[in-house]
């Protein structure tokens, strides 16, 4: 905590879905939190607007070509303006920063997250790709530099909340999945679904990449990997259960058979706020869950035949080493290709599986190995996508 008693928060990706909701949380508690750093990749106008409203110490635009536009837009304000990835990595280490919310998307989040960990900052982790790619390394560094990692992902926040006050080990994690917009679709239907259909998630409004990942269930596969690293459980201890209503955000089963679940409306501001306020809870004006007005809560097993990505993620988790990094890189390529109408829905898993077979396996990767693996897997996946045009 700093001079004015407010927690100073650096939001990596303040213009995105998580980032803008985090700013709403800060707005709800202006006496407790301060947006100290705001960052974006390309959206100069929105970032400048946010800077005007929240008066942060500094803003960073990752795309260096946008630096001048941002600097000009903020010329009349005493806000420091920086550009580039190096600046992102430096700014999170600034002394006054208490919490770094990692709300960037994809592999790009890894370096700044590691940088923040090395400075011992508390990490409110939304960027799940960081743990998918390099969970072992990130955990080791977090331990070494005494950096707390608090999950923001709704399922992992739910598990984290279920574990509060518990001292006994987890028997099983029950990770809920909405099943996405194509939960009931046949293979024939899946073969022809469009990006517009995929972008229409039934329960959550999120950024485009994670919305596609939710439709393909790669998001759930990544969350299995994320759960392993956050909670130290074996893959066999994580059960994915499809729960279309997204009211039970996840659950934990203990040695005596007792199951604790966390329920609520699907609203990311709740886990974001909890990550900021942990271990206490703050009041909020967000919608309340009324169980009497809630339709039946239903649960079913996922179908890994139609949603092969889930199986590929488990395979990667079992293989260990750089395999999850390979899957993540291939997924970033096919996700974008699907968004650009260059690949069909079912082909996404095919390309990922092929990349897993072809990229070099490294059992104990270093940070540099991850960077190389990411580049190699992207190359392989991109060439496959080219072939399936």
Note the residues at the interface with ligand NDP (CB under 6 A): 13-19, 40-43, 62, 103-105, 108, 126-129, 153, 204, 206-207, 209-210, 268
Least CB distance to Mg ion at residue 206 (A): 9
List the single partner that 104 binds among ligand NDP, Mg ion, none, CB under 5 to 8 Å by kind.
ligand NDP
Output the smallest distance, CB 4 to ligand NDP, in A.
Answer: 26
Please answer whether residues 156 and 230 qualify as being in contact, where contact means their C-beta atoms are separated by less than 8 angstroms. yes
Helices of type H across 92-186: 110-118, 128-144, 154-163
User: Per-residue b/e over 295-313, b at no fewer than 16 CB within 10 Å?
Assistant: eeeeeeebebebbbbbbbb
Residue 18 interacting partner from Mg ion, ligand NDP, none (CB closer than 5 to 8 Å by kind) = ligand NDP
Q: What does 333 bind: Mg ion, ligand NDP, none (CB cut-off 5 to 8 Å by kind)? A: none
- The CA distances from residue 324 to 132, 142, 364, in Å, are 6, 19, 12
Query: Is 57 near Mg ion (CB under 5 A)?
Result: no
Complex with ligand NDP: residue 18 or 317, whichever CB lies closer: 18
Among ligand NDP, Mg ion, none, the one that 125 touches (CB under a kind-dependent 5 to 8 A) is none
Given ligand NDP, Mg ion, none, residue 89, with its beta carbon under 5 to 8 Å by kind, binds: none
d(C-alpha 330, C-alpha 328), whole Å: 6
E strand map for the chain:
7-12, 33-40, 58-61, 80-83, 99-102, 122-125, 149-151, 170-177, 238-242, 248-254, 259-263
Q: Does 98 bind Mg ion (CB under 5 A)?
A: no
Using CB under 5 A, which of the segments 13-21, 30-38, 148-156, 230-238 binds Mg ion? 148-156
What DSSP character marks residue 156?
H
Contact 367, 137 (CB under 8 A): yes
Contact between 34 and Mg ion by CB under 5 A: the answer reads no
Partner from Mg ion, ligand NDP, none contacting 128, C-beta within 5 to 8 A by type: ligand NDP
Among 98, 153, 213, 376, binds Mg ion (CB under 5 A): 153
> Is residue 376 near Mg ion by the rule CB under 5 A?
no
> Which residue is nearest to ligand NDP, using beta carbons?
16
Is residue 105 within 8 Å of residue 133, measured between CB atoms? Answer: no
Q: What's the min distance (Å) between Cβ of 226 and ligand NDP?
A: 9
Verify binding: residue 226, Mg ion, rule CB under 5 A: no
* Chain center to CA of 328: 12
Estimate the crossing angle of helix 308-319 against helix 218-231, to 10 degrees.
30
Summarize as ranges the residues that interact with Mg ion (CB under 5 A).
153-155
């Amino acid at each position: 905590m700093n001079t004015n008693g407010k927690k100073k928060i650096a939001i990596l990706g303040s213009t995105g879905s998580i980032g803008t909701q985090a700013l709403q949380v800060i707005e709800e508690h202006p006496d407790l939190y301060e947006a100290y750093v705001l960052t974006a990749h390309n959206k100069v106008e929105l970032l400048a607007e946010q800077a005007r409203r929240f008066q942060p110490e500094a803003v960073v635009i990752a795309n260096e070509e946008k630096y001048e536009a941002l600097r000009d837009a903020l010329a009349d304000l005493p806000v420091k303006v920086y550009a580039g990835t190096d600046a992102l990595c430096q700014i999170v280490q600034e002394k006054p920063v208490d919490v770094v919310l990692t709300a960037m998307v994809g592999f790009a989040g890894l370096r700044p997250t590691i940088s923040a960990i090395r400075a011992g900052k508390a990490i409110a982790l939304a960027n799940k790709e960081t743990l998918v790619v390099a969970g072992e390394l990130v955990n080791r560094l977090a331990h070494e530099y005494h950096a707390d990692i608090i999950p923001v992902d709704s399922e992992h926040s739910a598990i984290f909340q279920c574990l509060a006050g518990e001292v006994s080990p987890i028997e099983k994690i029950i990770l809920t999945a909405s099943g996405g917009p194509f939960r009931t679709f046949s293979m024939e239907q899946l073969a022809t679904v469009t990006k517009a259909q995929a972008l229409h998630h039934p329960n959550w409004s999120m950024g485009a990449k994670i919305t596609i990942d939710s439709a393909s269930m790669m998001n759930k596969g990544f969350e299995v990997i994320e759960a392993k690293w956050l909670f130290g459980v074996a893959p066999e201890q994580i059960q994915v259960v499809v729960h279309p209503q997204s009211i039970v955000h996840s659950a934990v089963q203990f040695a005596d058979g007792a199951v604790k679940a966390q329920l609520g409306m699907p609203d990311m501001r709740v886990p974001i706020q909890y990550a900021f306020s942990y271990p206490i809870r703050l009041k909020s004006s967000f919608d309340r869950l009324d169980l009497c007005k809630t339709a039946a809560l239903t649960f079913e097993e996922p179908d890994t035949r139609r949603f092969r990505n889930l199986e590929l993620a488990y395979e990667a988790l079992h293989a260990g080493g750089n395999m999850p990094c390979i899957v993540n890189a291939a997924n970033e390529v096919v996700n974008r290709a699907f968004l650009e109408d260059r690949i069909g829905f079912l082909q996404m898993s095919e390309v990922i599986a092929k990349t897993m077979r072809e990229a070099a396996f490294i059992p104990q990767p270093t940070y540099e190995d991850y960077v190389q693996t990411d580049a190699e897997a992207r190359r392989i996946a991109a060439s496959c996508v080219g072939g399936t045009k």
